[in-house]
């Protein structure tokens, strides 16, 4: 091989083959991937948390349904009381207004 370009092609090809072989050896495809016990424990914990989250969502949905029913009943009572109070004339006010003297400060410290 006396050609200069032939030597360059051969050197480039050998470098490509070298780095390709290096990548194959570094990836170790023949080694069996042993399952990490930490990953198994993490997956188990994740499934437990997902199950607990479903239970919490169900409890929240039940509480919201009870709250909505109670709110609807309360609003109905308020509306009934408002209509009853607007129908009857207001004779006396249940609110008492109190006027206080101004606040006096006797100490500066």
At residue 36, the pLDDT reads: 85
- Does the structure show a pLDDT above 70 at 96? yes
CA distance readout (Å), 90 to 67, 84, 87, 95:
33, 11, 9, 12
Tens of pLDDT, residue by residue over 26-78, are 888 777 767 888 999 999 999 999 999 999 999 999 999 999 999 999 999 99
pTM score:
0.45
- Does the structure show a pLDDT above 70 at 17? yes
Domain positions in the chain: 37-84
CB hemisphere CA count around 48 (13 angstroms): 6
CB count in 10 Å sphere of residue 18: 10
Cα–Cα distance between 71 and 78 in angstroms, integer?
10
């Amino acid at each position: 091989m006396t050609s200069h370009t032939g030597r360059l092609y051969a050197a480039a090809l050998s470098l490509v083959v070298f780095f390709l072989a290096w990548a194959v050896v570094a990836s170790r495809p023949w080694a069996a991937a042993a399952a990490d016990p930490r990953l198994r424990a993490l997956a188990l914990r994740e499934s437990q948390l997902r199950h607990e989250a479903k239970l919490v969502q169900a409890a929240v949905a039940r509480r919201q349904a009870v709250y909505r029913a109670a709110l609807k009943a309360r609003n109905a009572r308020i509306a009934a009381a408002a209509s009853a109070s607007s129908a009857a004339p207001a004779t006396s006010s249940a609110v008492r207004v109190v006027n206080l003297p101004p606040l006096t400060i006797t100490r500066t410290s």
